[in-house]
Amino acid sequence: MTAPLYWQTEGKGSDLVLIHGWGMNGAVWQPIVEQLRSQYRVHTVDLSGHGHSAELGSADFNKMVQQVLAQAPEKAAWLGWSLGGLIATQAALLSPERVSQLITVASSPRFSAEKGWRGIKPVVLSLFTEQLKDDFKLTVERFMTLQAIGSPNAKQDIKQVKQAVFSRPAPNQDALATGLTILADIDLREHLSQLPMPVCRMYGRLDGLVPIKVAHDMDELIPHSVKVIFDQASHAPFISHSDEFITELHRFLAR
């Protein structure tokens, strides 16, 4: 039997699952959970190797998806941020009857750049992998800083993310390394046309990890999806522009 992940559930209403990104944990959602719980039953999870699930250790991409599916509500809207968007998308592909609506935030079906596709340069991902071996806490902090670059409220955004993430146990180092491998290797582009549920894609125009060109390239891969761009946001629009973010989320979920 799969060991249980750490989940936190708040509020009443239709079910909404929130999945965090690399090196983070469910606490990163808390500021918007406080605004969402009046209308939704919000479920936040600490992925394997992260936060209160740190002791579960590393899990590869498919296992992470299966772990979340095994313990998520029977049917819910799923929202994934960054790497969490990959997990939510794969869950929707594997079990479409479980995912009523799919929302990805600052995410990409392929994070690593290659010819003709914008993304994180492979050398940057390799550098983070090497740095993990020397000082994984500093590496996570550097990644947090990279996420906020471009945001007009960068210092405040970084501080808020750090306070949330470091309020829970530190992530497992092997899980962090596996997460970087997922960001480097996973490519879901050719499967996106199979998604039968309504899809909303949210982006920060100033995002350095998921370039805005990805948002436009995705128009061809999922032509019937909804695209939302926050002009002054970087990689964490739900933190830097929480009111606008929640307005757009409500609008999509009410469709």
Question: Is 145 annotated as belonging to a binding site?
Answer: yes
129 vs 39: CA distance, rounded Å: 40
Q: Which of 20, 43, 50, 235 is catalytic?
A: 235
List the alpha helices (DSSP H) in 76-229: 83-94, 122-134, 136-148, 154-165, 173-185, 212-221
Q: Which of 207, 234, 240, 241 is catalytic?
A: 207
Catalytic residue at 126?
A: no
- Count H helices, E strands: the chain? 10, 7
Question: Is 235 annotated as belonging to a binding site?
Answer: yes
3-state secondary structure of 209: coil
Measuring CA to CA, how many Å separate 187 from each of 119, 135, 219, 233?
12, 28, 17, 25
Question: Is 241 annotated as belonging to a binding site?
Answer: no
Question: Is 143 annotated as belonging to a binding site?
Answer: yes
- Look at the block and give the residue holding tokens 């010819």: 115
The Cβ of residue 105 has, within 10 Å, a number of other Cβ atoms equal to: 29
Catalytic residue at 52?
A: no
List the alpha helices (DSSP H) in the chain: 30-36, 61-71, 83-94, 122-134, 136-148, 154-165, 173-185, 212-221, 237-240, 242-253
Question: Is 47 annotated as belonging to a binding site?
Answer: no
Q: Which of 48, 53, 82, 107 is catalytic?
A: 82
Question: Is 53 annotated as belonging to a binding site?
Answer: no
Strand partners, 228: 202
Q: Give the residue numbers of the binding site for substrate.
A: 22, 82-83, 143-147, 235
Q: Give the residue numbers of the binding site.
A: 22, 82-83, 143-147, 235
Residues marked active site are found at 82, 207, 235
